[in-house]
Amino acid sequence: MALFDFDMLIAGAGPAGCTLALHLAPTGLQIGIIEKDIFPRQKICGDALSGKVLSVMKRLPGDVFHDFENTVAKIPSSGIRFTAPNHKSIDVPFLRSPAPGQSAPGYVCRRSDFDQFLFDRLKAYPNVSVFEGDAVVSAMVQPGFAMVKTGKHEFRGKVIAAADGVHSIVRKSLHNTHPDKKHYCVGIRGYYENVTGTHPENYIELIFLKELLPGYFWIFPSTGGLVNAGFGVLRSRISEKKVNLVHMLDNIIASHPLIAPRFKNANLTGKAEAHSLPLGTFQMARTGNRFLLLGDAGFLVDPFSGEGIGNAMASGEIAAQILRENFSSNVFSAESLATYDARIRKRFSQEFRTMTVMQYLASYPRLINLVINKSLKNKELGDMLSAMYTNPDIMTKLTRPGFYARLLFR
């Protein structure tokens, strides 16, 4: 079995792993990325790229964002349509007054295209070696180095970043954590053609169905005239009821009074597929001696929206900033890497606390009905909803019980 030596090992070439590699590559460090699949590969996802993704992309070295804007197939999205359990909807633009020529605030981009785009950027760096079709089966830390084994090779590095997704083998090998199922959501999605009633400006749609709360059903206009449709639901709800997700999706599409008419002539292209989302409600150390956990491997998915791509990329960016210092001091102890933990907490703790409260509140259909009913009548409230994803203070306001009490009398 061949043995490869690198400075930095990265398990997984998704958004977290690629962002870390792209930020570190200009240092000239020898980087080895080990990826179980062969690109282009599918990733089960809603494919919505928020402003967070775009802002991390803008800070990547080179013309990455410019290239993304100009070369990748995607649908620009300028807002969200929320539909309450009482079937009332409100359209909320991301920006009330976009500047002329301003790039879209968000996109829907198939993960096979988006991930391939990031992955291809790695080829510009001769010091980055990618091993595709090579799944990590175990990881260990020895005095002086970290090591991973795949079925084909052994890899040694000074430090390893686990960016190998929700079922991270690196995390399971090096980190003694057993998150409860309440910290997971499961999502299922399919690509459908001939779905009617999509928003003329391609707003993404979040439809809060009673049976899924605090999760939701989504319809996201995608490329090629398709929509990405599916739902996310807390795993604790699913196992309570022992539901088959594919049947549940088929059932909603065939019979839900809000959804079925829009899918009357729709065809599923390919098959509907499900995957887990590890939520930021789970708190843990994301570092140890010679390793760091990034993205889904580190439970960084937004507990309310299920958004994880931007957070995964942000964790890759933060890891790169910290690791530059570790490489200059050549120290990779748990204590020295704990700075990454501190930075991740600083970046996400407040946001995750807020979103955990939002997740809780979204379990109450009457509360969602109230917010949407009132927002339809009151422009100020509509403006608040519009700014909630860009202004953390507004999101925090939405988590205060007093806000809902006052809403009753507005």
Ligand X SMILES: Cc1cc2nc3c(=O)[nH]c(=O)nc-3n(C[C@H](O)[C@H](O)[C@H](O)COP(=O)(O)OP(=O)(O)OC[C@H]3O[C@@H](n4cnc5c(N)ncnc54)[C@H](O)[C@@H]3O)c2cc1C
Q: Is 118 helix (H, G, I), strand (E, B) or coil?
A: helix
The reply to whether 11 sits near ligand X by the rule CB under 6 A is yes
d(CA 336, CA 325): 9
> Does the protein bind ligand X through residue 9 (CB under 6 A)?
no
Specify the residue, 16 or 361, whose C-beta has the smaller distance to ligand X. 16
Give the SS3 label for residue 184. strand
Handedness of CA 35, 41, 43, 44 (dihedral sign): negative
Of 47, 205, 317, 341, the one binding ligand X by CB under 6 A: 47
Distance CA 174, CA 290 (A): 10
Among residues 7, 296, 317, 341, which is the contact residue for ligand X, using CB under 6 A?
A: 296
Q: In the complex, what is the shortest distance from the CB of residue 367 to ligand X, in angstroms, rounded to a whole number? A: 24
What is the spatial distance between Cα 54 and Cα 60, in angstroms, rounded to a whole number? Answer: 10
Least distance from ligand X to the Cβ atom of residue 178, Å: 19
**Does 33 engage in binding with ligand X (CB under 6 A)?**
no
Which runs of consecutive H residues, i.e. helices, occur in 72-228? 111-121, 169-174
- Indicate which single residue of 174, 206, 312, 372 sits in contact with ligand X (rule: CB under 6 A): 312
Q: Is 44 in the site for ligand X (CB under 6 A)?
A: yes
Distances in Å between the Cα of 41 and the Cα atoms of 124, 133, 170, 215 are: 20, 11, 21, 27
From 44-52, 172-180, 254-262, 360-368, span contacting ligand X (CB under 6 A): 44-52
In the bound complex, what is the minimum distance in angstroms from residue 374's beta carbon to ligand X?
27
Q: Name which of residues 133 to 162 contact ligand X (CB under 6 A).
A: 135-136
The nearer residue to ligand X, 164 or 341, going by C-beta atoms, is 164
Amino acid, res. 21? A
Q: How far is the CB of 41 from ligand X (least distance, A)?
A: 6
Whether residue 340 contacts residue 324, with contact meaning beta carbons closer than 8 Å, is answered with: no
Whose tokens are 């900033």? That residue is 321
Which residues of this chain interact with ligand X, rule CB under 6 A? 11-17, 34-37, 43-48, 135-136, 163-165, 169, 187, 189, 230, 275, 277, 295-296, 301, 306-310, 312
